[in-house]
A and B are shown apart, each in its own frame.
Chain A
């Protein structure tokens, strides 16, 4: 290998005689700047001293589309002793990258080789997104690169928003948008409150074009935190609402109103043939013996959930246009649009009023008051029955009819209605809907604790368990259940497990079993110390360094009751103190009491909105600290 490398190295050294660039070493000022920036942004490695976007528009007369030119310049500086990063830019069928230059600070080009690859996403089986990227090294502290990127969008529809924050902290961020007189674009300022963003508007006296320049200084990097709200909630950005353009004195709408957005979506839906003959028999099979309409609907909805695999092709217009229901039926796979369409067509076939429905999940902050393609990211089916709208999401698994996943609850939907559309909101469930009950009836003996456990799961606590259980291999299911119940802790022995039907999504799940817990009791002299809690829920939820709201996957409501019978001849000499806290986002309490010869330990944890806001953090963390102290405290029994 060495010899080969050696030869290769020689060849390279001849072809690249000027590897070490002149005048690119960091100056003292740059090194000082890097240190100052590091003090401000200790968790980051590279910063942008300048980051600017210049956006201009043009009209593609042949296609009758407004095109967008985005010119981005970035001035990178390394704040660490050394840094290695990737520089990249995405494009797809609707956009192209014209220029992607990475230069030394003296403006001379570097020799980094840009790779061009299909972007692979674990969520999408196939999509048309591609990425140009390269690996860039900053060999010294204060080292800089200047980049220029020119990106072209073939249609303004797909140019939806611009963020101020990026992957790197930025000293000066500028966004400049030049809007020609013939174009009507609204630049909607989102989440600007609390930030000092300067806006300057100039008008070119000749062309009458208006240039909007936004400047923000000392912009931190985007947060790298899990379970955070979607970026449209937390970062200041400009939403590009392309309304209309004037060509040959005629005003052509783009997305002037929500109706225009609907019209475009509808035009794609209208291209569908909707030949339902492929699944006519299936619908008959699913509905013929049903005793009520509700049973018919359930049979169809559950069939789609259980039999259609989620496989997404996002290639060009396929990202917006649903697949034919018959295709989805025949292939037994599809994306959300395909599943929504199949659900709709099967219900229509069974004689129901079902409609396609666009929705932005909880991840997106917008509703349809801002007509823009980034308003929604999902499609479901709405069923009108007895004057009620019921929402059916085929991508959900083990979702019961009339129940809604947290990710769509409360969100606005756009329902197809011929030439018009209907706006409605998905109902919300309160936390109690997902209630989880745990009941322990335990007895203390010499060295261990044993007894019975009953658990009940409802709502989303139920559907997520059912879903997970049903993705397991048949031969691993029993093993999993045991593991799930003893948490992989060999001190906990679980036996005699009884469950309700783990395929039935309409009923609550009940699980009961016998338990024996070793090593939870320690005796020293005449005292017995008991570590009572094997669940210790929320113990890892201290949100100390976090900067964004913490989002749970669903609302939580846990009620845990534990009754521990203590042996005759012992009395309880110490119980931890009770704690509780109440706020708009949570109600939580832990209480101990003595009832006869038993200790009763009750926990109530209710996360009401599936969210802990940053404003809650101080109180929340205070409670979690107390909770952890309590979890760590031992119950003490003394010999009478």
Chain B
């Protein structure tokens, strides 16, 4: 009996092995078989002889098949690359991958595993071809396989493929990760082919942009099998200059594939599916947007907490009520849980969430936010529209193709319309991603209970004065001029604020602020067990002390590099106002310190030269290459930087050189202006740098250069402290 069992096992094992190698052979045949028309393609065009490497052929394939709920997803890529220097040989000299992996798609399965197959061959300049024995040359440690590519030299061609076979099960509709890429990559590409093979139940959204070739259908032997390909050639390598959105400028393509087994599942899919599987969907109409969302944004949520909050409060202004509700929700559904995440992360409590009671409301995504917030608006009888927008970096709403790219927010139809987007710990009412401001959007509304109207709209945009960094810098020299004393008041508003808040506030700073404002119970208050409470308090206090220490060290180092000084001492930092309850209110903090100023103060006989221009911090210093830019300019938002420097003139000295500190360049794209005056024993310098738009066409680049250069030149300006 035992022998039999062993035999069965052995057989099963060997059949698995056989199956594997069959698939492996199929993969190899697919790329390098008799039909490989690139087998002998070894030459590259002269224009690319000075590149690091040239991709002779790149072939990407996506293959979707199913049997009921069982999906077999195969994705693969082959590249044939001529290596022209040591850097590229180094780049391709080691490969790392996992042979077997567990799919993260569909239903979790213990048994089912995916396979990665890899083939690598080297073609020498004389045409001799050697295929690597990957199986024997690889080392596998902790599930990771590594191959060092042998006999690879400058001038060789490396021809390799990765073939990923990923079976999984999905009962419900399943969306594969969207792909949004430009045609080009690090090295120039001679020929490129993107290939799809699908059958029924797989829905493809695909479109090409910015001049990339279209996806074309290829004839097949069976009607149920569908094949498509995109063919491109002569693709230059990509370069990524400053302020650049590659998906808007470079030839690119986007796609997403959805698996949905029947009409019901199709309806449930959170995607803009094509009407039928044999149609490649290239764009999404307004009606389709309405159809997808008409039932998905039904007001819904337990807003008892909000009602409690409003109890006894009287509002004359609807705007005020909406704003208050937004900030209260931000606290009640988000910031009051933050402590628990820290307590858990720091292992102070394994289970801090239990103190919040059973099923507290915790808002975790845009859609949940919309349902919850509109439930509040509905109860308050405040009209609203739902805004469907799309981020600028991958094209406008007219290029909508993939549902995941949608940003959704609420437009509250108060006398002055307000906007409410899914909150972060520091976001404000009327604040939404800088990526969607000023973009065309769709507005959804309901005439009765169901959403049934969609119309065009546009989101308001901020201007450069709304997004401001402001610094008041007081500087003085010590007696022997070896050190500088700084007191800096830093203020931020608009889009300039949130990143600063995240960097500068400890969680306890804003969590406690919210507890106080709303008189809610902190996590500590919620712990009833006395002993546990005492321990929790001690350990959280210790954690906060440590975080605070680290924070101060980091800020001190930041200040040193910002003001070009060394060995900062007596560093102090205080928050004057968090500005967390309004987009237009400033977040303000003050820091003071003294530091060695070798880089800023230079001895000139009995006098001193002060590099006063450096106090506005490093400015963009354009390289020759950047000056020749040919792309349009994409920035996140318009903004301004306003600095006031008050420099105490040491006793017995006078200042010369003010003329060079008076600068002014102002044009349609932006400006840099500065003024310098002596007021009593202080030199007062005001500088203002503005970026007026979030986008400039390339023809405006010289205008931008003008004010960027002026600002950079300011950092080179000096004053002379002249001994009287």
Contact = CB atoms under 8 A, between A and B. Distances in A.
Nearest to A491: B716
Given A3-B362, A140-B542, A475 B151 contact: no
Contacts of B93: 309, 311, 333
Contacts of B151: 330-332
Given A137-B346, A139-B346, A475-B52, A13 B354 contact: yes
A573 interface: yes
B539 A139 contact: yes
A85 B349 CA distance: 18
Interface stretch (A367-375, A465-473, A580-588): A465-473
Nearest to B152: A332
Contact of A473 (B88, B350, B718): B88
Contacts of B349: 19
A313 B146 CA distance: 11
Nearest to B660: A522
Interface stretch (A144-152, A242-250, A253-261, A630-638): A630-638
A2 B353 contact: yes
A82 B148 contact: no
A565 interface: no
A634 B549 CA distance: 40
B85 A473 contact: yes
Nearest to B188: A475
A25 B535 contact: yes
A13 B350 contact: yes
Contact of B625 (A137, A141, A479, A574): A479
Interface string B73-88: 0000000000011111
A471 B153 contact: no
A534 to B, nearest CB: 13
Contacts of B135: none
A522 B542 contact: no
A227 B348 CA distance: 39
B50 A475 contact: yes
Contact of B350 (A3, A9, A25): A9
A125 B90 CA distance: 13
B70 to A, nearest CB: 27
A519 interface: yes
Interface string B699-716: 000000000000011001
B598 A628 contact: yes
Nearest to A625: B598
Given A2-B362, A126-B146, A139-B347, A9 B604 contact: no
Contacts of A82: 346, 539, 542-543, 545-546
Interface string B348-371: 111111100001001010000000
A634 B602 contact: yes
A518 B621 CA distance: 13
Interface stretch (A69-77, A209-217, A523-531): A523-531
A9 B716 contact: no
B378 to A, nearest CB: 24
Most buried by A among B51, B349, B362, B542: B542
Nearest to A117: B142
Nearest to B623: A490
B649 interface: no
A636 to B, nearest CB: 5
A473 B353 contact: no
A25 B537 CA distance: 13
Contact of A118 (B142, B549, B623): B142
Contacts of A12: 350-351
B668 interface: no
A632 B348 contact: no
Contacts of B545: 81-82
A499 interface: no
Contacts of A474: 50-52, 84-85, 87
A10 interface: yes
Contacts of B532: 20
B90 A632 contact: no
Nearest to B358: A6
A125 B153 CA distance: 18
Nearest to B540: A139
B546 A81 contact: yes
Interface string A6-42: 1001101100100110000100000000000000000
Interface residues of B, number: 66
A307 interface: yes
B150 interface: yes
B139 interface: yes
Contacts of A476: 52
B351 A574 contact: no
Given A9-B351, A82-B545, A311-B93, A332 B598 contact: no
A629 interface: yes
Given A126-B146, A525-B656, A471 B350 contact: no
B605 interface: yes
A277 B364 CA distance: 67
B294 to A, nearest CB: 27
Contact of A1 (B88, B90, B364, B538): B364
A80 interface: yes
B383 interface: no
A330 B88 CA distance: 20
A636 B605 contact: yes
A82 B144 CA distance: 36
Contacts of B141: 118, 126
B139 A573 contact: no
Nearest to B52: A473
B622 interface: yes
A526 B514 CA distance: 61
Interface in A113-137: 117-118, 125-126, 137
A140 B86 contact: no
B94 interface: yes
B50 A522 contact: no
Interface in A59-109: 80-84
A367 B375 CA distance: 80
Contacts of A330: 150-151
Contacts of A333: 93, 148, 150
B657 interface: yes
Given A9-B352, A12-B350, A333-B93, A490 B543 contact: no
A634 B721 CA distance: 13
Contacts of A518: 716
Nearest to B363: A2
Contacts of A538: none
A470 B359 CA distance: 62
A524 B353 contact: no
B602 A531 contact: yes
Nearest to B541: A81
B609 interface: yes
Nearest to B482: A629
B139 A126 contact: yes
A524 B655 CA distance: 10
B22 interface: no
A574 B598 CA distance: 20
B145 to A, nearest CB: 11
A307 B609 contact: no
A5 interface: yes
A141 B538 CA distance: 10
Given A12-B351, A474-B50, 10 more contacts: A9-B350, A9-B352, A81-B542, A82-B539, A471-B86, A472-B85, A476-B52, A522-B609, A573-B605, A632-B598
18 contacts: A5-B344, A82-B539, A82-B542, A82-B545, A83-B546, A126-B139, A126-B141, A140-B539, A332-B151, A332-B153, A473-B85, A474-B85, A518-B716, A524-B722, A527-B720, A529-B609, A531-B602, A629-B603
Interface of A: 1-3, 5-6, 9-10, 12-13, 16, 19-20, 25, 80-84, 117-118, 125-126, 137, 139-141, 307, 309, 311, 313, 315, 330-333, 470-476, 479, 490-491, 518-519, 522, 524-525, 527, 529, 531, 573-574, 628-629, 632-634, 636
Closest 6 CB pairs of A and B: A331-B150, A473-B52, A81-B545, A2-B362, A13-B351, A9-B351
